[in-house]
């Protein structure tokens, strides 16, 4: 009878509060911060503003989130200098934004949530319609198409 080797033990990262003060969280993380970038966008104030956001969401690997009233375009893409061990390949010459970044409020924990999060153009369109309902007598539905000439 052949023996089956035990399954590889999954490495679990320690909780932030279980690490000694001054510990480097990056030594235990999968570099979530290097797998996307977020850019602030204008807070939508009218229906037309939501059309721009809908356009963003028509692109692959883009989403939009709201945190503390601020809106952001989130682009899901991995830094080309992130190494297989989740460390920076250009650490000594990394951009200033990376140098300024701290782990004080990073997404080390897996429970991170946003106030609002939109992944599809349909989601943002429905939200816009809820914020700016159509005028009296107008429907939120597309207009009924004309009858085919054969049936008219």
Q: What residues form DSSP beta bridges with 70?
A: 67
Distant-in-sequence, close-in-space partners of 124: CB < 8 Å, separation ≥ 6: 50, 53, 54, 57, 64, 118
Residue 137 pLDDT:
57
Residue in the block written with tokens 């480097």: 24
Residue 116 pLDDT:
97
Measured over the CA atoms of residue 91, residue 94, residue 100 and residue 106, the dihedral's sign is negative
Residue 25 pLDDT:
87
Task: Give the C-alpha separation, 56 to 64, whole Å.
Answer: 8
Task: Give the C-alpha separation, 86 to 91, whole Å.
Answer: 12
Between the CA atoms of 58, 77, 31 and 41, what dihedral angle is there, to the nearest 10 degrees? -50
> For residue 109, what are the domain limits?
26-131
Predicted model pTM: 0.73
Q: How many domains does the chain have?
A: 1
Residue 138 pLDDT:
62
Classify residue 93: in a domain, yes or no: yes
Classify residue 12: in a domain, yes or no: no
Classify residue 144: in a domain, yes or no: no
Classify residue 46: in a domain, yes or no: yes
Classify residue 18: in a domain, yes or no: no
Residue in the block written with tokens 């300024």: 100
Of 35, 131, 29, the C-alpha closest to 75 is 35
pLDDT digits (tens, 9 = 90+) for 31-61: 999 999 999 999 999 999 999 999 999 999 9
Residue 65 pLDDT:
97
Residue 12 pLDDT:
74
Q: Which residues of the chain have pLDDT under 50?
A: none
């Amino acid at each position: 009878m052949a023996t089956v080797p035990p399954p590889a033990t999954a490495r679990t990262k320690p909780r932030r509060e279980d690490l000694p003060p001054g510990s480097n969280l990056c030594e235990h993380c999968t570099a979530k911060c290097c797998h996307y970038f977020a850019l602030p966008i204008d807070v939508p104030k009218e229906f037309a503003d939501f059309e721009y956001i809908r356009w963003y969401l028509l692109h692959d690997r883009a989403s939009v989130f709201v945190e503390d009233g601020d809106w952001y375009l989130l682009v899901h893409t991995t830094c080309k200098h992130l190494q297989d061990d989740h460390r920076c390949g250009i650490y000594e010459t990394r951009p200033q934004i990376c140098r300024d970044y701290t782990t004080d409020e990073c997404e080390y924990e897996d429970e991170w949530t946003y106030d609002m999060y939109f992944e599809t153009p349909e989601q943002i369109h429905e939200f816009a319609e809820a914020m700016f309902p159509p005028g009296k007598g107008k429907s939120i539905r597309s207009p009924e198409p004309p009858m085919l000439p054969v049936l008219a």
